[in-house]
């Protein structure tokens, strides 16, 4: 390790370790010969910058902490970096950012870290309007407690736990980062130094009594409070007053918190270190216990979703939840199911659904999806394995909820992008970016070329471009998503309505498609009736494996309980959407 820190490496090392080719910067590990391409800047601190580093052979993306050698020439800086590497490198836990490697060249020292594309809890809070519901805070705190319990078991106290040092990977799993202030406390007394971030400092640290494991537990209480309330518990306008409040244990608990949340916060923020719970006790607290799925939860959940379209827009505006995408790729080619239409009772219902008389000719797309799915679930065997179907269907690959200001943006697998604005208007951009379609809040559509957008639509056009750029630069598809089927000479697909619950985001598109992205396990369900004679189901499971089936195959052969449960959830959402659609039809009749 000391060789890496050598401030005067051989001159030839400079040529080996840093190259510029076609304006791309490449970094080479002189020992392993692994070559990294330097990507975008992810962040910067006191004396380091963090960039994406992409292994050119494997295409694996890392976060590279790049420290100029000029910064480590100052007294104590070299030892600080050595200590950070020494403490962090042995830590291997799913809730701790992994330190993969480190090396140096003539100008810099490089620390190769696990890449967390969803940034930090600071960014999450900003995106979500400043606060998170208890249902989302609980799993984050459980993951934090598991990570801290592990680091403590290795004799390491972090000493700087805060929102900014809690990163999120592509699956929104929490990872503890930045061990620059960490210390090993095993076999030695607590370190008597005031270090860390003021709003998260424990009272014993301010009293110069040392920074032991219990100080990390205190910081966890500050993090939990900040997630629920939107600010740390002792934050004031001056540092002196903040310290006084910490020493007095003076903070307030909002009345809207549940009893279990209040109880855990009080336990974590005990002024005396000996009175705070152990990490095992924290993990056993009722607030952090994983929720148990119960069959009756769906009915209760859906009963809370009975809001009309105007209320839905307002609910989205009040939620303030710009979100990050967790998408999945379509992997492997499936075989055609070849289910004969006459072999399944579903198609008796299909005939009744599709052959409409005059009185039922106003059947909406939502009711169509609802009846198809209801017919499938009425016929489905208790269990089974349906044959897969070969083909593709359109799906949402990226989305962002910015309804606290503007609206809900999305990108489809054919690269169409669109925004459903808070005023119920919609603007879409074609995959080739040569055509724009605007729909007013009555559904009337007008098409324009980008160069001839009316002045009245320029602001929304600018917002659409902002959404498109943000999704392109910041959100990933998470896999090889196939391009959706071509839709030549057809109107662009647009978002009709969406709904967000504690469990999922539900999106209904104009192409007779419903998509449900589940937050907890990152599964996704797509129900498509664009070809109503062959409605399709796409399902992405917890391992991000994607399968496609015809609805007829599921009705005939069955499917596993996980998929059945999600189909039932989708049916409940369609019931709610169908009520909205019927109200709209009655108003326009």
Q: Which residues pair with 62 in a beta bridge?
A: 53, 114
Report the chain's terminal Cα–Cα distance, integer Å. Answer: 77
Q: Rounded CA gap, 195 and 212, in Å?
A: 12
Four-point Cα dihedral 138, 128, 119, 518, nearest 10: 60
User: In which residue are the tokens 């001159």 written?
Assistant: 11
The backbone torsions φ and ψ at residue 163, rounded to the nearest 5 degrees and listed phi first, read -55, -40
Question: What are φ and ψ of residue 61, in 5° steps?
Answer: -100, 130
DSSP letter (8 states) at residue 191: B
Orientation of helix 259-268 relative to helix 213-229, angle to 10°: 140
- Report the run of H or E that residue 467 belongs to, with start and end: helix 458-474
Q: 160, 216, 401, 414: which is the annotated catalytic residue? A: 160
Chain position carrying tokens 């504690």: 502
**398 annotated as ligand-binding:** no
Question: Nearest Cα to 519, choosing from 537, 538, 500?
Answer: 500
CA atoms of 79 and 186, how far apart (whole Å): 19
Give the pair of three-digit tokens for residue 124: 């999450």
Residue 267 and residue 218: Cα distance in Å, rounded? 9
DSSP-based helix, strand, coil % in the chain, nearest 5: 35, 20, 40
Rg (CA), the chain: 27
Other beta carbons within 10 angstroms of residue 216's beta carbon come to: 27
For residue 519 the two structure tokens come to 């937050």
411 forms beta bridges with 398, 417
Annotated active-site residue 160? The verdict is yes
* Residues 55 and 38 sit within 8 Å (Cβ to Cβ): no
What 3-state class would DSSP assign to 377?
helix
Annotated binding site: 65
Catalytic residues: 160
Annotated binding site for ATP: 65
């Amino acid at each position: 390790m000391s060789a890496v820190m050598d401030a005067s490496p051989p001159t030839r090392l400079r040529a080996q370790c840093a190259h510029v080719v076609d304006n791309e910067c490449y970094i080479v590990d002189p020992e392993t010969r692994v070559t990294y391409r330097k990507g975008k800047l992810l962040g910067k601190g006191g004396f380091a910058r963090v960039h994406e580093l992409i292994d050119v052979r494997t295409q694996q993306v890392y976060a590279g902490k790049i420290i100029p050698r000029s910064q480590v020439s100052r007294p104590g800086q070299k030892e600080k970096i050595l200590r950070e590497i020494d403490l962090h490198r042995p830590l291997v836990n799913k809730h701790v950012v992994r330190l993969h490697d480190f090396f140096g060249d003539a100008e810099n020292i490089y620390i190769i870290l696990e890449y967390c594309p969803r940034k930090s809890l600071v960014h999450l809070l900003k995106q979500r309007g400043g606060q998170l519901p208890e249902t989302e805070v609980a799993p984050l705190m459980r993951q934090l407690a598991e990570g801290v319990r592990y680091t403590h078991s290795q004799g390491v106290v972090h000493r700087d736990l805060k929102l900014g040092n809690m990163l999120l990977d592509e699956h929104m799993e929490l990872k503890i980062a930045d061990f620059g202030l960490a210390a090993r406390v095993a076999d030695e007394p607590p370190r008597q130094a005031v270090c860390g971030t003021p709003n998260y400092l424990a009272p014993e640290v301010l009293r110069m009594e040392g920074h032991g494991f219990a100080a990390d537990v205190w910081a966890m209480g500050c993090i939990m409070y900040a997630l629920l309330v939107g600010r740390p518990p002792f934050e004031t306008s001056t540092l002196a007053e903040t310290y006084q409040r910490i020493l007095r244990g003076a903070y307030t608990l909002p009345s809207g918190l549940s009893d279990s949340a209040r109880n855990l916060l009080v336990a974590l923020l005990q002024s005396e270190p000996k009175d705070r719970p152990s990490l095992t006790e924290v993990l056993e607290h009722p607030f952090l216990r994983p929720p148990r799925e119960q069959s009756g939860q769906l009915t209760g959940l859906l009963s809370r979703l009975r809001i009309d379209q105007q209320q839905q827009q307002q609910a989205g505006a009040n939620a303030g939840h710009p979100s990050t995408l967790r998408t999945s790729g379509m992997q492997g080619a499936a075989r055609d199911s070849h289910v004969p239409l006459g072999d399944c009772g579903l198609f008796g219902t299909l005939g009744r659904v599709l052959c409409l008389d005059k009185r039922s000719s106003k059947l909406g797309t939502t009711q169509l999806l609802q009846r198809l799915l209801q017919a499938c679930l009425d016929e489905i065997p208790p269990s089974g394995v349906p044959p897969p179907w070969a083909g593709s269907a359109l799906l949402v690959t990226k989305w962002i909820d910015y309804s606290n200001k503007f609206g809900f943006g999305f990108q489809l697998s054919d690269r169409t992008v669109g925004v459903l604005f808070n005023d119920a208007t919609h603007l879409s951009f074609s995959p080739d970016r040569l055509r724009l379609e605007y729909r007013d809040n009555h559904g009337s559509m007008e098409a324009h070329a980008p160069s001839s957008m009316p002045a009245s639509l320029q602001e929304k056009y600018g917002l659409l471009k902002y959404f498109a750029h943000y999704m392109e630069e910041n959100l990933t598809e998470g896999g090889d998503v196939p391009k959706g089927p071509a839709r030549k000479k057809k109107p662009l697909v647009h978002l009709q309505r969406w709904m967000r619950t504690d469990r999922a985001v539900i999106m209904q598109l104009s192409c007779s498609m419903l998509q449900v992205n589940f937050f907890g396990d990152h599964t996704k369900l797509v129900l498509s009736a664009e070809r109503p004679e062959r409605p399709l189901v796409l399902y992405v499971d917890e391992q991000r494996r994607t399968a496609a089936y015809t609805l007829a195959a599921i009705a005939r052969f069955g499917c596993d309980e996980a998929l059945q449960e999600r189909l039932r959830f989708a049916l409940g959402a369609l019931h709610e959407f169908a009520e909205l659609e019927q109200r709209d039809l009655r108003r326009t009749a």
